[in-house]
Copies of this chain bind each other. A is one copy, B any other.
Amino acid sequence: MKNHIIPAMVKDERLIAKRRQQIVDGAVQLFIKKGFHKTTTREIARKCNMSIGTMYEYIQNKEDILYLVCDYIHCKMEKKIRRVIAEQDSGMESLVKGFRQLLKVMDEMRSYVLLIYQETKSLPKARMKFVLQNEENITAIFEHILEKGIQDGTINLEPQSVKLMAHNIMVIGQMWTFRYWSLGRFYTIQEYTEQQLNLLISQLIRNRSTSLNSIESDVDFA
């Protein structure tokens, strides 16, 4: 977390972290249910069992809370995704594992991701940069995987398209959250995942003789 950017009235770093987590936990629920603008600071304070006065000891304004929330969500996502990436795996193996995990996370955190997605714009320019940067960090995971795959020969992709492909992968994940209102009517998350994976692979191999099934899914959708 880069919370350090947000100044607090209180010194005790340990306390700051604890209280901010409290704030984030309370705020997320409210933001998801009502949106950032329609949630009042009073509500947030009440939700996290804090007086408004106390809350303002740990933040400077309402937007700070949104920032903390976005940051928290991104960190959690990133951690969850990195967990399945192993050094020893080939590029393609990592890709498949990473992709499946990405979609698993997107499904689990659907409303959270949607939140970031819809409210980021409410952040002041400077803060927005940081949030977008977080996003780009996650995108970078897939860039690295693709590059590794190109080098070890398991992935076939022109270097100039690496960035683009990484973005595409991220967006395939995100669209499950922001187009769920339509996609959810036609596909389960498993179906969605495997079909998108098939389409994705078809872009990354020279010929489709390589079977996906050779790479076992160690992602189980709860």
Contacts and interface: CB of A to CB of B under 8 A. Distances in A.
A31 to B, nearest CB: 11
A181 B179 CA distance: 21
Given A168-B199, A203-B199, A163 B179 contact: no
A132 B181 contact: yes
A35 B121 contact: yes
Given A167-B183, A171-B171, A199 B136 contact: no
B163 A186 contact: yes
Contacts of A83: none
A165 interface: yes
Contacts of A196: 164, 168
Interface residues of A, number: 31
A115 to B, nearest CB: 10
Contacts of A164: 183, 186-187, 192, 195-196, 199
A69 B39 CA distance: 25
A172 interface: yes
A136 B37 contact: no
Interface string A151-191: 00000000011011101100110010001011100110000
B167 A175 contact: yes
Given A121-B118, A203-B203, A136 B182 contact: yes
12 contacts: A35-B122, A118-B118, A132-B181, A132-B182, A136-B182, A161-B198, A164-B199, A168-B172, A168-B175, A168-B199, A171-B171, A171-B179
